[in-house]
Structure 1
């Protein structure tokens, strides 16, 4: 069993995330080149963990909440409050700027934020596409009960269901809830797949999986997942076709061309990538922008 273990990252102000991708042992799973698990974290009145305006190129951000809320705004004029169960897909393409902040009506409220932020690298032919933003409401995501599991097909096709979320390459993203003791067989759904346990304890094909580890699933056979212990399990499955070539990744930029990343850094430093309406702040370009 091939495992990817998380490493903790402080995004500022004590806002910690568990980062699974990119990893030294595995740079991507299908199109996904970035995987952060944040929370559960309590947001207190008057205290915010806002993400100021920052740029992206060559990728799509995929935001999914289990609890809480955040406000998305971007340089093409999108303004969307993100709530649990919805899929929010932002295509950066040739370049976009966005911010993620505490919704105004919750500034004086206490609540829990808990979710996942993924990046999908765009196929080479779409790296320079015009930026866009798509919100798919929670009630539009197809769900099914299968083998004692509640399955939401966030992206792609699985268990006889198809998500309405549009992608640029074959992609799979499932949210699966297992009751205590339940077991499910996961068929092969894509060229590359991985499973991540959000909460609870599981065995994969009879082997225990450590908390907050990502497991690379076999390409040639189904896998059996069983919830162990007294609690329920929440997990996600991600994957898709392998990338159409290597990707350079630096800061918030992803590209098949290192030169394009350098250019994006110069454009951001010169503030040529657009502005988010109503925003006056921005995250400055890190020194010594290098690929990683």
Structure 2
């Protein structure tokens, strides 16, 4: 496979009525830059009796990035946020020392109509020195994200920095997430435009890379400076993500991420004892997995 490091296939799993495809962490590749977790939500049909209801659950040591392609979600958390997200916008929650939140289909969409839901739930580990920072939440409208064209290829810088541009999403380490859509065959040039490790997530269509023909539902992993020529097939849709990796190992248990196993053990204990930061107006509770 030349200098192409790895191809990771999506592994589907069912969470209630919602189909999720786990992309990372993967047994042979735990992180890509600071990205430690990517769930592919859907595409699935919701309504009139099936909706998204992810009850209150905790996080530490990371930022979550929610990016919807279809459908909408209402986010609520223990720092008082209530924010609806629509396709193309970004919900960015930094858990820091601890936050709990829920994600649900908005009430006005529970009207008996059928709609499609499709998106990505992404976790980015925090630098070691910021793992205990105060929780934050930011919503960035899709219209405020940097967008540009190269030929008939459309680019959106979802988060971080790349291609000489900077996203307004308040990130805490060297990273990037770029959405690419094309209608005709397109030669993608990442060399010199992105910094660090790179993951190429194929949402739709397919690519040719290092003499490999790779279709949707896969992630390619490489290093930006070593990446071979990448050709996008017509009508493809990619997410490029990654950045500079951390020096320290990151541990992950359920929804907790940290450079310290002791901090994860404390978070587990606090969640079981319900001394973890909790939401004021949501009595739901997802038990710690055994």
> TM-score band, normalised by the shorter chain?
over 0.9
Over the aligned positions, Cα root-mean-square deviation in angstroms equals 1.4
Provide the rounded CA distance (Å) in 2 between the counterparts of 1:174 and 1:143. Answer: 10
TM-score (norm 1): 0.93
Provide the rounded CA distance (Å) in 1 between the counterparts of 2:88 and 2:210. Answer: 28
Partner residue of 1:168 out of 172, 181, 194: 172
Q: What are structure 1's unaligned runs of at least 5 residues?
A: 288-292
Aligned residues: 284
**1:132 Cα deviation (Å)?**
0.7
Match of 1:121 in 2: 125
Provide the rounded CA distance (Å) in 1 between the counterparts of 2:176 and 2:228. Answer: 16
After superposition, where does 1:186-225 map in structure 2 within 5 Å? 186-188=190-192, 189-221=194-226, 223-225=228-230
Provide the rounded CA distance (Å) in 2 between the counterparts of 1:36 and 1:132. Answer: 22
Provide the rounded CA distance (Å) in 1 between the counterparts of 2:92 and 2:266. Answer: 24
Match of 1:29 in 2: 32
8 Å contact kept, 1:72–1:79: yes
8 Å contact kept, 1:217–1:223: no
1:184 equivalent to 2:166? Answer no
8 Å contact kept, 2:152–2:184: no
Range moving further from structure 2, 24-33 or 158-167: 158-167
Provide the rounded CA distance (Å) in 2 between the counterparts of 1:152 and 1:193. Answer: 16
**1:222 Cα deviation (Å)?**
5.0
1:49 equivalent to 2:52? Answer yes
Provide the rounded CA distance (Å) in 1 between the counterparts of 2:228 and 2:80. Answer: 43
After superposition, where does 1:36-75 map in structure 2 within 5 Å? 36-75=39-78
1:19 equivalent to 2:22? Answer yes
Partner residue of 2:152 out of 148, 154, 163: 148
8 Å contact kept, 2:191–2:225: no
Give CA-to-partner distance per residue, 1:235-270, whole Å, 9 cap, x none: 100011102310110000001111111110110011
8 Å contact kept, 1:72–1:78: yes
Provide the rounded CA distance (Å) in 1 between the counterparts of 2:38 and 2:103. Answer: 17
Give CA-to-partner distance per residue, 1:39-63, whole Å, 9 cap, x none: 1111112322210000000011110
After superposition, where does 1:266-277 map in structure 2 within 5 Å? 266-277=269-280
TM-score (norm 2): 0.94
**1:199 Cα deviation (Å)?**
0.8
Range moving further from structure 2, 217-226 or 4-13: 217-226
Q: What are structure 2's unaligned runs of at least 5 residues?
A: none
Q: Which runs of 4+ in 1 moved over 6 A?
A: none
Partner residue of 1:3 out of 7, 11, 32: 7
**1:226 Cα deviation (Å)?**
2.1
Range moving further from structure 2, 255-264 or 202-211: 202-211
8 Å contact kept, 1:98–1:276: yes
Provide the rounded CA distance (Å) in 2 between the counterparts of 1:194 and 1:26. Answer: 11
**1:166 Cα deviation (Å)?**
1.2
Partner residue of 2:258 out of 255, 258, 262: 255
8 Å contact kept, 2:162–2:195: no
SS in 2 for 1:266: helix
Match of 2:109 in 1: 106
